[in-house]
Amino acid sequence: MASVSFRGVEKQFGRFKVIHGISFDIQDGEFVVLVGPSGCGKSTLLRMLAGLEPITGGEIDIDRRVVNELDSKDRDIAMVFQSYALYPHMTVRDNMAFSLKLRKADTKLTAQRVDNAARILNLTQLLDRYPRELSGGQRQRVAMGRAIVRDPKVFLFDEPLSNLDAKLRVAMRAEIKALHQRLKTTTVYVTHDQIEAMTMADRIVVMHDGLVEQIGTPLELFDRPGNLFVAQFIGSPS
């Protein structure tokens, strides 16, 4: 678990600034949702936190330590993507064990972690299958399993449910929330879907054009939207 601080974070791609100075804190164990229209900079902010994209201004702290110069593999963060990115030639078990093997973890510990994650995610019966033999929801759970086995300080999700049909999406929201209640790992979850944000977040960060418009609990944003953009975004059907 960990706290995360963004302090005046900026991002410039060539001549184009896409993040214009973002500051906020995430508490240890909190489930924070970044929400905002497509192109507002959600993925870029997440990728800077993960170390997949250089920070061009300001700083990001994890547990009060500046991570700007820290390599992504040394940040102890696990990310779940929309596209799952499972290895097609590996079984579910090997997909889940892979990142630990890369880090040269003990074989017995790796097996324990995989079994444990499989139990939590209801994947025990599927450990010897290949990704092509799984449904969309099962693949998504394997992608989460790969993140869990590493027991990271922070989980990042970038629109993890957008490839799933509406019914499954609702079910997976509940699964992800249940997982968080169980593990209490600090989580930053990105979506463009305000319903998803309202139902999942401890606190919501509303972004627009590379800036934060408002931060608050779902109830606070619903009751007291800080400006017209937030009111329209939160109030509009997805």
Taking the complex as a whole, the smallest distance from the CB of residue 171 to ligand ADP amounts, in Å, to 24
| Type of residue found at 34 | L
Strands (E) in 123-222, as ranges, are 154-158, 186-191, 203-208, 211-216
Count of C-beta atoms within a 10 Å radius of residue 112: 12
Biggest CA pair distance of the chain:
55
- Using alpha carbons only, give the angle 193, 197, 203 rounded to the nearest 5 degrees: 150
Among the candidate windows 24-32, 41-49, 91-99, 164-172, which touches ligand ADP by CB under 6 A?
41-49
Residue 185 interacting with Mg ion (CB under 5 A):
no
Q: Which partner from the list Mg ion, ligand ADP, none does 185 bind, CB cut-off 5 to 8 Å by kind?
A: none
Residue 43 interacting with Mg ion (CB under 5 A):
yes
Q: Closest CB to ligand ADP among 75 and 192?
A: 192
Q: Closest CB to ligand ADP among 142 and 206?
A: 206
Chain centroid to Cα 160, Å, comes to 8
Q: Residue 34's beta-bridge partner residues?
A: 190, 205
Among 40, 67, 204, 234, binds ligand ADP (CB under 6 A): 40
Running DSSP on this structure, what letter comes out for residue 31? E
Q: Closest CB to Mg ion among 117 and 189?
A: 189
Residue 13 interacting with ligand ADP (CB under 6 A):
yes
Residue 54 interacting with ligand ADP (CB under 6 A):
no
Helix, strand or coil, per DSSP, at residue 181: helix
Taking the complex as a whole, the smallest distance from the CB of residue 18 to Mg ion amounts, in Å, to 11
Residue 214 interacting with Mg ion (CB under 5 A):
no
Residue 194 interacting with ligand ADP (CB under 6 A):
no
Chain centroid to Cα 213, Å, comes to 20
Q: Which partner from the list Mg ion, ligand ADP, none does 191 bind, CB cut-off 5 to 8 Å by kind?
A: none
The token pair at 229 is: 């953009």
Give CA–CA dist 224/212, Å, rounded.
16
Among the candidate windows 36-44, 62-70, 123-131, 213-221, which touches ligand ADP by CB under 6 A?
36-44
Pairing of β 4-13 and β 57-62? antiparallel
Please work out the total of residues on this chain that contact ligand ADP, with binding judged by CB under 6 A.
10
Contacts with ligand ADP, residue ranges (CB under 6 A): 13, 18, 36, 38-44
